[in-house]
Structure 1
Amino acid sequence: MSTYAFIIGVSAIIILSFLFNLVARKTNVPSVLMLIALGVGIQYLAPYVGLELEEDHRLMNQLKILGNVGLILIVLEAALDLELKREKIGIIVRSFVVATIALVGSSFLIAFVLTQFFSDASFFKALVYAVPLSIMSSAIIIPSVGRLSKEKREFMIYESTFSDILGIMFFYFLIQNAAAENAGTILVDVGKNIGLTLVISIVASYALVVLFQKITSQVKLFLIIAVLMCLYAIGKSFHLSALIIILMFGLILNNTGVFFRGPMRRLTNKEKLKPIFHDFHVLTLESAFLTRTFFFVLFGITIHLASLVDVRTAVISCIIIGSLYLVRWFCLLIIVRKQIIPQLYIAPRGLITILLFYAIPDGWMDFHGEVLTSYESGYDLTIGNFESGILLFTILITSLIMMISLVLDRGGKVRDVLKITLGNNSDSNHDSIIDDIEEYQVEINPQNSSNGDETANNSESKEE
């Protein structure tokens, strides 16, 4: 391929990805599905246009590089969206509890399912595979919930963000302690690891935020991202929970009023930090957009569609999906208690699921990500005959379920307004009145409640 053809191809993919985002906003069809379809299309059209794709193992290496960059940007992006405010403590706690219970519960239930279908899968290996499948995709959810009522929208944003962060940490916790001899050893090692990482994270994050506002050069945003990636790589080299560094920096930068109190308040200047934070957030969004675009296209190129028509793959995928929604229904019913629709069905899987799947040690790298010179079975946590089609099936179906639920959802905005008007309390009479009004509104004008909130549609959101 010539240099100019390559430039045209890369540019065309970015342009199409942007158009996919516009289509996604209008139709609620997740752009991730369109990007994967684009990759599949490139895979099958390549031979007819004389395009030679690289071998699978080289594409996998590129996926892993994009994967590491993607993890950093996703966690940073999620942290920059978390606002720690006193009035939001209730919704933050509820969403955190739901995300935690759903993640752990789904992981153990799916692990049990996998042990029933794969004879060579120990429960630990099955759990390693189950965690990626149990993580919700905030990158898909956040742009998709703009038309929900304010309360539901904020709940989904916080829950999906917590699911991303906790899921990634849970996965690497399992991987890095795969060789531990007993539970006591694991607890001691994890305590030391997290404790040391937290100390480094807090010191580095405070220093970076203070330094951030003092840099007068026009070129500084990519400098900060480079420093964060360097800290992440150094942390991984020393087997630390390096993503905590990224998480802590994002939280402190987005909530300087919470973390810089008393005498420390003099170290920050809100007037300087506000525009810098805005520009940095935009840069993170743009960078994450590019990373996701090429990751999903490359993923589509590596997919073997034959696995989708395999009956066994379809059966396993459907049982996994059923398990996800069963655990989610239980969590929402216990924690949220009422008005759990459409939140119940907004649980798509996406980038994190694929990234972590390709991070499972296969015997050619140790449990800390170090490449080995030869294959060692002791570092192999893969399950034989596990079809990647299960991942694709799960991503497709959960995304379609979310799309359908959002299209069918009615009355969310009406309920939000009526609650404010009648008084936002737990009075059962108020809820009954609101339910009756919503039903009547849908009967006389089913189109009205689907128009959404134009303000929410114009608000800042993640690009998938």
Structure 2
Amino acid sequence: MEILSSYNLIIGISVTIILSFLFNGISKRTNIPAVLMLIVLGIIFQYLLNAFGVGDVNFFPILEVLGIFGLIMIVLEAALELELKREKIIPIAKSLAIALLGLVGSAWIAALILNAFIPDMNMQSAWLYATPLSILSSAIIIPSVAGLKNDKKEFHIYESTFSDILGIMMFYFLTGGLNPAEDSGVVGFIGNLILTVAISLVASYGLILIFQRIKSQVKLFLLIAVLLLLYALGKKMHLSSLIIILIFGLVITNMKLFFKGRLGEMLHFEKAKSIHHELHVITAETAFVVRTLFFVIFGITIVLSSLLNFKIALISVLIILSIYLIRFGLLRLFIGKDINPQIFIAPRGLITVLLFYAIPAEAQVAGFEQGILLYVIIATSLVMTWGLIKNKNAEIEPPVVSPEQIKNEESINIENIKTVNFDEPIPRKNDEGDI
């Protein structure tokens, strides 16, 4: 186990973070998601560990903690960019509708496919396996759409964030159905949701008012620690804890909207705005590191032999086709004809992996192969890459001009040219400004 000594681990983590930074640069130039490069790096590490005889290390506890922490940071990072304005009500509503219908529709079709092809897979388990495969990855989407037009970029930020939150809520609602003693039904679920929103608002107001009074320079990680504590306590109380993170991000980003009247008088806007700015920076940095380590470790745990199975490939292709067919229908319904490159941007990633590992033991099916997960993640990321490259090329492609247009423009320009007689004196202005 010398290979896993403290200094070797420090070297490995440092090299991984440096390479991840380089991958981000490559991703911006090529539109290849950095996530794919991180997974490949993890696979390379897997072979190195096997070569040194330490390939049997159990990385799951690390993967689970990194996944939860990364999920919180990613949702907080996304919420810190969401500005709630009156003119954005319709775009937000459309994004929410597409995210919800896309999630439920994709999960339903994927569940039918899994139930039909995998032995011992009943519909209840199929829904649990299908839900992670139906959630968009904001961890991949948000960094990838930075170069798109503002309206399309905002659509993807809203849609992927809603998909994350709704998908997690749907997953834990389904897991609650496995235990009749804990299953509160739809009414209980809605009540739980309302309670979570109320607690989230109270906690958000309280945190902002308290932290604006803290004069210490070391307070941002204290704030993150409090948010992590609220998330963990919420999970213990069976609340939809991710909503706590989302609402806090929305409140601190849109303080002028939430702090009005007497609450507005209690808010020191400049100090609170400074907290928002610094929190945005540290959240983005932390999310980058956690995302890097998560996907590399996921690459280490991948069983590549499962990719060679024809049945796994068939199931994966059917699920992938259903994802894009449903997405095409929803985008045409809610947005219209201008759906490029939105139709191609539907990658699966961190939350898909995290929820896959969170499937309860009583719902797990031995016949489900991890290769399906890997196929869907890789294929949807590659489709997104192709769509972004195609869109980028279309935007820089020069407009096609017909010979008739050129001829007309030339004739217009020639007619508008004025001749200049250099023998005439140049008009000059007098002291009053007249010529």
TM-score of the superposed pair, with normalisation by structure 2: 0.87
Q: Which whole-Å CA distance do the structure 1 matches of 2:70 and 2:186 have between them? A: 29
Residue in 1 that maps onto 2:200: 201
C-alpha offsets along residues 149-193 of structure 1, whole Å, 9 cap, x if unaligned? 22222222221121112112211222123334899x402321332
User: 1:407 and 2:410 equivalent?
Assistant: no
Residue in 2 that maps onto 1:381: 363
From 348, 369, 377, give the equivalent of 1:395.
377
From 9, 16, 19, give the equivalent of 1:16.
19
Residue in 2 that maps onto 1:144: 144
Amino acid at match of 1:33: L
Does structure 2 retain, via aligned residues, the 8 Å contact 1:92–1:158? Answer: yes
Does structure 2 retain, via aligned residues, the 8 Å contact 1:253–1:277? Answer: yes
Q: How does 1:133-282 map to 2 (within 5 A)?
A: 133-180=133-180, 185-282=184-281
Amino acid at match of 1:29: I
Q: Which whole-Å CA distance do the structure 2 matches of 1:178 and 1:280 have between them? A: 38
> Structure 2 vs 1, CA of residues 207 and 107 (structure 1 numbering), >3 Å: closer, same or farther?
same
Residue in 2 that maps onto 1:105: 105
Does structure 1 retain, via aligned residues, the 8 Å contact 2:176–2:182? Answer: no
> Structure 2 vs 1, CA of residues 204 and 412 (structure 1 numbering), >3 Å: closer, same or farther?
farther
Residue in 2 that maps onto 1:449: none
328-337 vs 75-84, which moves further: 75-84
Task: Detail structure 1 runs of 4+ shifted over 6 Å in the superposition.
Answer: none
Amino acid at match of 1:395: I
Q: Which whole-Å CA distance do the structure 2 matches of 1:116 and 1:181 have between them? A: 30
Q: Which whole-Å CA distance do the structure 2 matches of 1:37 and 1:411 have between them? A: 27
> Structure 2 vs 1, CA of residues 146 and 246 (structure 1 numbering), >3 Å: closer, same or farther?
closer
Q: Which whole-Å CA distance do the structure 1 matches of 2:181 and 2:373 have between them? A: 31
> Structure 2 vs 1, CA of residues 15 and 126 (structure 1 numbering), >3 Å: closer, same or farther?
same
Does structure 2 retain, via aligned residues, the 8 Å contact 1:414–1:438? Answer: no
> Structure 2 vs 1, CA of residues 414 and 12 (structure 1 numbering), >3 Å: closer, same or farther?
closer
Q: Secondary structure at the match of 2:80?
A: helix
C-alpha offsets along residues 363-396 of structure 1, whole Å, 9 cap, x if unaligned? xxxxxxxxxxxxxxxxx11122111111111111
Q: Which whole-Å CA distance do the structure 2 matches of 1:212 and 1:384 have between them? A: 49
Does structure 2 retain, via aligned residues, the 8 Å contact 1:149–1:412? Answer: no
- CA RMSD, 1 decimal: 2.1
Does structure 1 retain, via aligned residues, the 8 Å contact 2:120–2:367? Answer: no
Number of aligned positions between the proteins: 399
> Structure 2 vs 1, CA of residues 151 and 198 (structure 1 numbering), >3 Å: closer, same or farther?
closer
Q: Which whole-Å CA distance do the structure 2 matches of 1:227 and 1:172 have between them? A: 23
Does structure 2 retain, via aligned residues, the 8 Å contact 1:148–1:413? Answer: no
Q: How does 1:440-459 map to 2 (within 5 A)?
A: none
Does structure 2 retain, via aligned residues, the 8 Å contact 1:84–1:255? Answer: yes
Task: State the shift of 1:104 in Å.
Answer: 1.0
Does structure 1 retain, via aligned residues, the 8 Å contact 2:78–2:157? Answer: no
Task: State the shift of 1:226 in Å.
Answer: 0.5
Task: State the shift of 1:317 in Å.
Answer: 0.5
Q: How does 1:255-334 map to 2 (within 5 A)?
A: 255-334=254-333
Q: Which whole-Å CA distance do the structure 2 matches of 1:77 and 1:221 have between them? A: 14
Q: Which whole-Å CA distance do the structure 2 matches of 1:96 and 1:218 have between them? A: 38
User: 1:43 and 2:46 equivalent?
Assistant: yes
Amino acid at match of 1:398: T
Residue in 2 that maps onto 1:5: 8
Q: Which whole-Å CA distance do the structure 2 matches of 1:195 and 1:64 have between them? A: 28
Task: State the shift of 1:414 in Å.
Answer: 8.1
Amino acid at match of 2:71: L
> Structure 2 vs 1, CA of residues 44 and 279 (structure 1 numbering), >3 Å: closer, same or farther?
same
Residue in 2 that maps onto 1:32: 35
Residue in 1 that maps onto 2:117: 117
Amino acid at match of 1:342: P
Seq. identity, %: 52
C-alpha offsets along residues 94-130 of structure 1, whole Å, 9 cap, x if unaligned? 1111111111111111111111112311212111111
Task: State the shift of 1:262 in Å.
Answer: 1.8
C-alpha offsets along residues 186-229 of structure 1, whole Å, 9 cap, x if unaligned? 02321332232222211111101111211110110000110111
Amino acid at match of 1:399: S
Q: Which whole-Å CA distance do the structure 2 matches of 1:407 and 1:327 have between them? A: 23
Q: Which whole-Å CA distance do the structure 2 matches of 1:332 and 1:157 have between them? A: 15
Q: Which whole-Å CA distance do the structure 2 matches of 1:182 and 1:197 have between them? A: 17
> Structure 2 vs 1, CA of residues 292 and 230 (structure 1 numbering), >3 Å: closer, same or farther?
same
Does structure 1 retain, via aligned residues, the 8 Å contact 2:107–2:131? Answer: yes
Q: Which has the larger radius of gyration?
A: 2
Q: Which whole-Å CA distance do the structure 1 matches of 2:18 and 2:182 have between them? A: 52
Q: Secondary structure at the match of 2:360?
A: coil
Residue in 2 that maps onto 1:96: 96
TM-score of the superposed pair, with normalisation by structure 1: 0.82
Amino acid at match of 1:232: Y
Does structure 2 retain, via aligned residues, the 8 Å contact 1:348–1:399? Answer: yes
User: 1:86 and 2:86 equivalent?
Assistant: yes
Q: Which whole-Å CA distance do the structure 2 matches of 1:4 and 1:411 have between them? A: 45
Q: Which whole-Å CA distance do the structure 2 matches of 1:323 and 1:299 have between them? A: 25
Amino acid at match of 1:162: F
Does structure 2 retain, via aligned residues, the 8 Å contact 1:180–1:186? Answer: no
